[in-house]
């Protein structure tokens, strides 16, 4: 390769990361030499990189390149994003919170803390016509709504729908890229559960038509939300957050359940609500949540899944 060209890689790496060092395998040209010199320069200055060698016209090789590019795009997309945390630490869980300085240093993500009272306050300001239209949509599209006139009434569902619009408004006003809602116990004891707002935030549509996917973790679980946001950028689909409830040893089945905020997308894995909603049931909330509301229930459609969760040991991810 021409003398001195590998230094340009080291210079470019100060402005553009992550870095992929790729070379063909044609012995008539010094591509491999140049790639090794460039990656060696990155090693010398401590810049991490990925190295791929091969014929880019081959499916296996281009597959490696595209997977890396997709992952690099997800990493880059995080930088400059903001998570909105509605409420504080849920139920004393250490695994649900993380330091804002660590997130900014490691992922380039900021955190905006918002009191849950803002959801209640703004929900009361949502135009009644908008809420009634959303209620009508639910009655016409949800497979079953099991009204019990105690934990699930039309007024309960109206509160949840108004809360959804309140969160959407704050997401737009505060330029939030993803969010999480604490819920327990303040809202679940005194207002309503956030299952309906969280489900439709995570969906690619709502009662008014198609919309951007807005990752929202229940219990304001920050590490779960960040994992979901990464997966959203990778897959370009909604992402599911669930608890490991049980392993049925005899049947060889894992039971993944969450607190009712499954994105309805997963009912049929479709971006069209007409495919998903017939499989969805709104159940009355149980006695754990005295404020009541609808719990969004369905069985996720079968298919391949990728499972992950960011975690920390001794403070390190």
Place of tokens 């699930």: 152
Neighbours of 135 (CB within 10 A): 18
Cα-only R_g, the chain: 23
73 has a pLDDT exceeding 80: yes
Task: Sketch the domain layout of the chain as residue ranges.
Answer: 6-77, 83-297
- Structure token pair of residue 180: 């999480």
Judged by average pLDDT, the poorest of 23-32, 44-53, 249-258, 283-292 is 23-32
Residue 113, SS3?
strand
Give how far the C-alpha of residue 91 lies from the chain's centroid of Cα atoms, to the nearest Å. 21
Fold held by 83-297: L-fucose Isomerase; Chain A, domain 2 (3.40.275)
Residue-wise pLDDT for 196-248, tens only, equals 999 999 999 999 999 999 999 999 999 999 999 999 999 999 999 888 999 99
Neighbours of 85 (CB within 10 A): 24
Residue in 46, 81, 173 with CA at minimum distance from that of residue 122: 173
103 bridge partner residues: none
pLDDT band at 6 (very low <50, low <70, confident <90, very high): confident
- Cβ neighbours of residue 234 closer than 8 Å, sequence gap 6 or more: 70, 71, 74
Report the mean per-residue pLDDT for the chain: 94
Strands 110-114 and 82-86 turn out to be parallel
How confident is the model over 3-25, as a mean pLDDT? 84
Residue 10 burial by Cβ neighbours in a 10 Å radius (0-12, 13-18, 19+): middle
86 has a pLDDT exceeding 60: yes
CA separation for the pair 231, 121 (Å, rounded): 32
Residue 27, SS3?
coil
- Structure token pair of residue 131: 């809420």
Neighbours of 15 (CB within 10 A): 6
CA separation for the pair 59, 143 (Å, rounded): 43
CA separation for the pair 241, 213 (Å, rounded): 14
């Amino acid at each position: 390769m021409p003398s001195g060209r590998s230094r340009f890689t080291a210079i470019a790496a100060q402005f553009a990361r992550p870095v992929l060092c790729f070379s063909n395998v044609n012995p008539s040209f010094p591509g491999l030499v140049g790639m090794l010199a460039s990656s060696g320069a990155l090693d010398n200055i401590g810049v991490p990189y990925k190295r791929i060698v091969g014929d880019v016209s081959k499916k296996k090789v281009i597959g490696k390149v595209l997977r890396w590019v997709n992952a690099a795009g997800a990493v880059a997309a995080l930088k400059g994003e903001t998570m909105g945390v509605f409420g504080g630490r849920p139920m004393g869980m250490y695994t649900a919170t993380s330091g804002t300085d660590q997130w900014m240093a490691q992922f380039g993500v900021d955190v905006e803390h918002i009191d849950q009272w803002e959801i209640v306050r703004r929900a009361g300001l949502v135009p009644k016509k908008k809420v009634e239209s959303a209620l009508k949509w639910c009655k016409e599209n949800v497979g079953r709504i099991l009204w019990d006139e105690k934990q699930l009434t039309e007024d309960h569902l109206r509160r949840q729908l108004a809360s959804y619009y309140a969160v959407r408004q704050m997401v737009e006003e505060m330029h939030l890229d993803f969010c999480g809602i604490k819920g327990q116990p303040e809202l679940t004891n005194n207002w309503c559960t956030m299952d309906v707002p969280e489900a439709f935030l995570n969906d690619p549509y709502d009662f008014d038509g198609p919309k951007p996917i807005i990752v929202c973790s229940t219990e304001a679980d920050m590490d779960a939300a960040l994992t979901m946001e990464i997966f959203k950028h990778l897959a370009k689909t909604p992402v599911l957050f669930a608890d490991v409830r049980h392993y049925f040893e005899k049947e060889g089945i894992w039971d993944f359940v969450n607190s009712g905020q499954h994105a309805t997308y997963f009912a049929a894995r479709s971006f069209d609500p007409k495919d998903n909603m017939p499989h969805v049931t709104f159940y009355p909330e149980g006695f754990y949540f005295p404020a009541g509301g609808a719990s969004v229930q369905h069985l996720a459609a079968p298919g391949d899944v990728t499972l992950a969760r960011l975690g920390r040991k001794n403070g390190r991810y």
